[in-house]
Amino acid sequence: MSEPVVLDIRNLQSYFFTAKGQVPAVDGVSIQVPAGKIIGIVGESGCGKSMTAMSVMGLLRYPGRVVGGTITLDGRDITHLKPKELSKVRGNEISMIFQEPMTSLNPVYPVGKQVREAILLHQKVSKEEAKKRVLEIFRDVGIPEPEKRYFCYPHQLSGGLRQRVMIGMAMVCRPKVMIADEPTTALDVTIEAQILRLMKKLCEEQNTSIILITHNMGVVAEICDYVYVMYAGKVMEQAETFELFEQTSHPYTQGLLKSIPKLDEKAERLYTIEGVVPNLLHLPEGCSFCTRCGQAEKRCFVEKPELYKKGDGHGVRCFAYEGGGRLETQESLPGGA
């Protein structure tokens, strides 16, 4: 069976128009998010993960701009909504959690009241009712002594509790999609595991879909249903999580997975992919990964590969898989419940 797609990003292009030239931060990205599923986006720093998220949220700022493609949420095109319409969608139907909650929470306002404001902004309820809901949500996200925490200022809470407040805030209106951009990188590993488990639980209970942006392949393996691997503004490989780990196909994904430390292997040194991410202003003429790829052939330096189909829902942007033909963007993803 397959799940209906809630958020459908097609051929998204977001460029920055700088004095030095056009920076193609997001260059033809298509991502399908089925209902109630967790989609991972991985890739090295600067590959366009956050800018993809910011484009979907309508939060790209000058000199950045969406220049192509469509973003459809539950059948509605939200690519170029006016700010007023967008603010109704944001926080209500789709919400976002950022890496460092200190930057998204107002430091001079108690956290409970901030979440209450989020409720009042989108729902017609009394202040008392809204406060009751905040306390319920605080309980749901595992904040101990909610009545006491309600009046705390952000700096009075630990990093883990602040991130729980942010998750509560993001879930408050039961959004269809929640985007979490590195939600746990600032936390220690035990708290990270708790927060991720919490997100997964909420996602299952409320049928909310999650886009999880992360550097951490371990996290992907644990909680994502489907994974997109990005490099220099493009999706290089996409597949169901199990398939991605079992049938790792793109040399870039192979490199990323090889760089994870393993307990049972005594490697002399941790593997790293040689070279650096190319400057987006001076991308190679061919495949953007050719300068670092151990398997690159002549053609890879002059021709750009498409996303080719390796298996069901498995796409690889590498000429080695050209035989499978182009991967078509699907209306729904295989392998759902």
The nearer residue to ligand ATP, 54 or 115, going by C-beta atoms, is 54
Total residue length of the chain: 337
Token representation of residue 159: 């990093």
d(CA 100, CA 210): 18
> Nearest approach, Cβ of 18 to ligand ATP (angstroms)?
5
The nearer residue to ligand ATP, 16 or 321, going by C-beta atoms, is 16
* Residue 114 within binding range of Mg ion, rule CB under 5 A: no
Q: Which stretch binds ligand ATP (CB under 6 A): 41-49, 104-112, 145-153, 246-254?
A: 41-49
The phi and psi torsions of 248 (rounded to 5 degrees) equal -60, 125
Binding mask 258-297 for ligand ATP (x = CB under 6 A): ----------------------x-----------------
Binding mask 49-68 for ligand ATP (x = CB under 6 A): xxx-----------xx----
Q: Which stretch binds Mg ion (CB under 5 A): 31-39, 42-50, 67-75, 295-303?
A: 42-50
d(CA 62, CA 233): 18
Residue 202: strand, helix, or coil: helix
- Using an 8 Å Cβ cutoff, are 43 and 53 in contact? no
Using alpha carbons, select from 222, 241, 176 the residue that is nearest to residue 8: 176
Among 50, 55, 241, 249, binds Mg ion (CB under 5 A): 50
Size of the site for ligand ATP (CB under 6 A): 15
* Residue 209 within binding range of Mg ion, rule CB under 5 A: no
* Axis-axis angle for helices 127-140, 159-171 (nearest 10): 120
38: amino acid identity, one letter: I
* Residue 45 within binding range of ligand ATP, rule CB under 6 A: yes
Size of the site for Mg ion (CB under 5 A): 1
> Nearest approach, Cβ of 239 to Mg ion (angstroms)?
22
**Which H or E run contains 68?**
strand 64-73
The phi and psi torsions of 264 (rounded to 5 degrees) equal -90, 0
Binding site for ligand ATP (CB under 6 A): 16, 18, 23, 25, 43, 45-51, 63-64, 280
Binding site for Mg ion (CB under 5 A): 50
